[in-house]
Amino acid sequence: MLDTIFQPIYSATTELTTSTYLICTLVSLALGAVIAWASSVRSRQSKSFLLSILLIPAIVQIVIMLVNDNVGAGVAVMGAFSLVRFRSAPGSAKEIVSIFLAMATGLATAKGYLALAAAFVIIICLVMVLSNFINIKEKDDLQRELKITIPEDLNYAHEFDDLFEKYTKNCKLMNVKTTNMGSLYKLSYRVELKDEDSVQSFIDELRCRNGNLEISMMVPALEDRVL
C-alpha cells in the first residue's frame, strides 16, 4: 500500500503533460506555503523571506523538469545549492534549514514524488514547530554584555572580582574608555551568568560599588548568532 502511495505520478520515459505540470506546481506552492508557515511560527521573518520560501519549491521544480535526463541537471542543482550559502544577507540556522527544505521539496515534486514530498515536508515542519515550544537552555542564552560606569578614583582592576565570582561563570573585560572630561570610566565586559534570575541582584550590588552610576546589561548583538 505504502509502495503505491510513494510512486511518482510520471516517469522519465513518459511525456510530461500540461495537467501533470500543473498538479506538480500546485503541490509545490502548497508545500512551500506550509514551509513558510512553519518558518514563521514564533519567529520574526520578513515578508520577502516568506515569499521566497513559498516560491522556491516551484522554481526548483521547473528547473529540474527542464533539464530532466540531462547532464546539466547535476550542474543546475549544485549551482542552486551553492547560491544559498552566499546570499547577500546572513541568515539564522532556521532560515538556512527552511531554504534547503524548500529546495529539496522542489526536487521531489519535479520528479513526480508528490506524496513523498508532502510526507517529508509535514515531518520536518512538525519538528520545526515543536522545537519552538521546547525550552532548551543554551550557553549563549546566558551570555551578556555588561557596561559599568565608575568614578575615576575607583580602582576597577579587582573591585568587582567577588561579584563576578558570585554571579558569573566567566568574565572578560573587553573595553575601557573615559567620559565626562575624564572624570568617569566606562567598562565593557562580556560575561556568562550562572543564573538568569539573579540579574537584578547582580546589578544592585554593582550599584553599591560604582556609586549608583549608570549600569547596563544586554544580550550580545544579533550578528554573533547568524550563519
How does pLDDT run across 61-89, given as a tens digit for each residue? 888 887 765 656 656 665 666 565 555 45
Say what the pLDDT of residue 227 is.
Answer: 47
Contact assessment for residue 150 and residue 211, using Cβ atoms and an 8 Å cutoff: yes
How does pLDDT run across 41-54, given as a tens digit for each residue? 877 788 888 898 99
**The three three-digit cell numbers of residue 80, written as one number:** 542552486
Architecture of domain 139-221: 2-Layer Sandwich (3.30)
Query: Can you count the helices (H) and strands (E) in the chain?
Result: 9, 4
Burial of 16 (0-12, 13-18, 19+ CB in 10 A): middle
Half-sphere exposure of 222 (CA within 13 A, CB side): 5
At residue 78, the 3 state secondary structure works out as helix
How does pLDDT run across 162-192, given as a tens digit for each residue? 999 999 989 999 999 998 888 899 999 999 9
How does pLDDT run across 118-170, given as a tens digit for each residue? 999 999 999 988 888 776 655 567 889 999 999 988 888 888 999 999 999 89
Query: Which residue intervals of the chain bear CATH 3.30.70.60?
Result: 139-221
